[in-house]
Amino acid sequence: MNDIVSKQRAFFYTHKTKAIQFRLAQLNKVETLLKSNEDLLYQAIYEDFKKSKFDTYVTELALLYQDIKEAKRNVRKWSRTKRVGTNMLNFPARSYIIPEPLGVCLVIGAWNYPYQLTLAPVIAAIAAGNTVIIKPSEMAPKTSALMANLINENFDSAFLKVVEGGVSETTTLLKSKFDKIFFTGSPQVGKIIYQAAAKNLTPVTLELGGKSPAIITADSNLKMTVKRMVWAKFLNAGQTCIAPDYVLVHKSVEKKLLELLKLEIEKENFSIENGNYTQIINERNLNRISNMFSSENVFVGGKINTLNRTIEPTVLQNIRFSDDVMKEEIFGPVLPVISYQNIEEVIQYVNSNPTPLACYVFTNNNQVKKKILNEISFGGGAVNDAIMHISNSNLPFGGVGNSGIGSYHGEAGFKSFSHYKSILEKSNLMELSLKYYPHSKRKLSWVQRFIGF
Ligand code: NAD
């Protein structure tokens, strides 16, 4: 591992990665590699957890193509030196900020959207002029092996290198000194990464998870809410970091909501054969999710197929905050519905738990919307929708508190792999004597006038 890092650091110091032409050529190469191997990409992800071609295109490849297109279009602008104003005290001078790449980066991916979550940060790192070591998740072994094959055969390892493996390989990797670590995964592992990074004062972006609430008020458009909610919750069989984890609904519309959820789930007819459902990634997760709820709370679904590793789209009713299903992120196709009487309870509950990655509010009440957006802290979210905020690259994507540190997508991604070097460039034409000894009352009064207070 140390050899690869040293090789990448040596390559970084040739300064080749800093040239815009180099960055554009590498972005084009990644794009061509993905486009010309789409069939293999579809096949590998299907083998890992039966994800369909449609869902893989829409939720993974399309987002990567969009990221590449945007990076290519903007890389010159994003990496341009920016002039800023200069204060009077420094007259005559100019001031500017130079975006510079951080160096050798480590990107650790998660398995649930294996291509998107592993390669989107890599695209941002390339656009910013870095070299990257990529560690996909071992929990999706076919996609991990395919990314390793494609990248390691087509790129110089001094620039891009995929290292496969699980805990022990990652632990070894983390012993090396990186200039940036970008991690996607659970808050528990996020803490391990942060501690390893701290030993070298390496900056991190931590894209973590949490329990993301969907809040439904009495006056929301229930039909539309349910349509969007059901898609967002059961996409990828609920294995989405920004899936609505649970619903908080106003008591007056709870019954109606449950009925509509049932109808919509039936209508969608989720199944692997229909291409709109996936397996649970492994047996461990199947057991973990199955043990979170009991049959007496099941309103819809609840059947577990251990052979096929699937759990039916499930809606739970009569849930209390103290139930197991409310204690940790579900990360599966199970939706607890809890009713509330007034919005203060909702705000108080969410704020008394770890800060979520996402929060969704379905409402037609402008005041309630504003109150929630103002009083609950969360990574990002949507009003009258769920998940779709991730598709707008003008919106930086990331968590806060327990759900993460930093953000990416679009220019935010470029920024997370860059340092902004501030320069004051002095003219040699003249030099004010104010700061120099001997000091005097007159000088002090001039300094005060220059500084402005
Ligand atoms: P995970 O934390 O178990 O694994 C993520 C990565 O960390 C993998 O590459 C894995 O090999 C590595 N890893 C695991 N244990 C490690 C250890 N002890 N030391 C070093 N590395 C280790 O997470 P997961 O099960 O792959 O994903 C589920 C979690 O990730 C959920 O909490 C979900 O919300 C979150 N997630 C967040 C985002 C986001 O964009 N914020 C996206 C997807 C998933």
Same domain, 54 and 166: yes
| Residue 129 zone, left/alpha/beta (φ > 0; ψ -120 to 50; rest) | left
Report pLDDT for 75.
Answer: 98
* Tens of each residue's pLDDT in the chain, 453 residues: 789 999 999 999 999 999 999 999 999 999 999 999 999 999 999 999 999 999 999 999 999 999 999 999 999 999 999 999 999 888 899 999 999 999 999 999 999 999 999 999 999 999 999 999 999 999 999 999 999 999 999 999 999 999 999 999 999 999 999 999 999 999 999 999 999 999 999 999 999 999 999 999 999 999 999 999 999 999 999 999 999 999 999 999 999 999 999 999 999 999 999 999 999 999 999 999 999 999 999 999 999 999 999 999 999 999 999 999 999 999 999 999 999 999 999 999 999 999 999 999 999 999 999 999 999 999 999 999 999 999 999 999 999 999 999 999 999 999 999 999 999 999 999 998 888 999 999 999 988 888 877
Give yes or no: residues 246 and 289 share one domain.
yes
Write out the two tokens for 11: 């390559």
Closest-lying ligand 1 atom to the alpha carbon of residue 136: 9
Pocket-testing residue among 137, 172, 359, 416, ligand 1, by greatest number of atoms within 8 A of Cβ: 137
Q: Which of 268, 266, 264, 267 has the alpha carbon at shortest distance from 256? A: 264
Strand order in the sheet with 180-184: 160-162, 131-135, 104-108, 180-184, 204-207, 404-405
Q: What is the DSSP string of 216-238?
A: E-TTS-HHHHHHHHHHHHHGGGG
Specify if 79 maps to a domain: yes
Question: Is 345 a member of any domain?
Answer: yes
Residue 230 placed within a domain: yes
331 and 385 assigned to the same domain: yes
d(CA 148, CA 143): 8
Domain membership flag for residue 429:
no
Quote the domain boundaries for residue 33: 2-208+403-420
In a domain, 125, yes or no: yes
What lies within 8 Å, CB to CB, of 198 at 6+ separation is none
Number of domains in the chain: 2
Whose CA is closest to 135, among 101, 102, 168?
A: 168
Residue of 115, 134, 174, 184 best suited for mutating to test ligand 1, as the one with most atoms within 8 Å of CB: 184
Annotated catalytic sites, by residue? 207, 241
Same domain, 18 and 161: yes
Instruction: Identify whether residues 250 and 379 lie together within a single domain.
Output: yes
**Cβ neighbour number for residue 307 with a 10 Å cutoff:** 5
Pocket probe mutation, ligand 1, options 186, 205, 357, 403, max atoms within 8 Å of Cβ: 186
Who's near 43: CB < 8 A, 6+ residues apart?
142
pTM of the model as a whole: 0.97
Alpha carbon of 162 to ligand 1 centroid (Å): 17
Domain contains 152: yes
Same-domain pairing of 169 and 252: no
Q: Are 211 and 144 in contact (CB under 8 A)?
A: no
Q: Where are the beta strands (DSSP E) in 142-230?
A: 160-162, 180-184, 204-207, 213-216
109/90 Cα distance (integer angstroms)? 46
| Residue whose structure tokens are 């903007």 | 74
* CATH code for the domain of 200: 3.40.605.10
Please state, as a whole number, how many other Cβ atoms lie within 10 Å of the Cβ of residue 102: 20
Do 220 and 297 belong together in one domain?
yes
CATH number for the domain including 218? 3.40.309.10
Q: How many angstroms does the Cα of residue 230 sit away from the middle of ligand 1? A: 25
Q: What is the pLDDT of residue 328?
A: 96
Q: Which amino acids bring their CB within 6 angstroms of ligand 1?
A: 108-112, 117, 135, 137-139, 166-167, 170-171, 184-186, 189, 192, 207-209, 241, 329, 331, 357, 399, 404
Residue with tokens 């130079």: 98
**Ligand 1, atom nearest to 174 Cα:** 20
Look at residue 253 and tell me if it is in a domain: yes
Residue 428 lies in a domain: no
Q: Are residues 289 and 177 in the same domain?
A: no
Both 196 and 225 in one domain: the answer is no
| 316 and 188 within one domain | no
8 with 102, same domain?
A: yes
* Rounded Cα gap, residues 227 and 384, in angstroms: 11
180 shares its domain with 105: yes
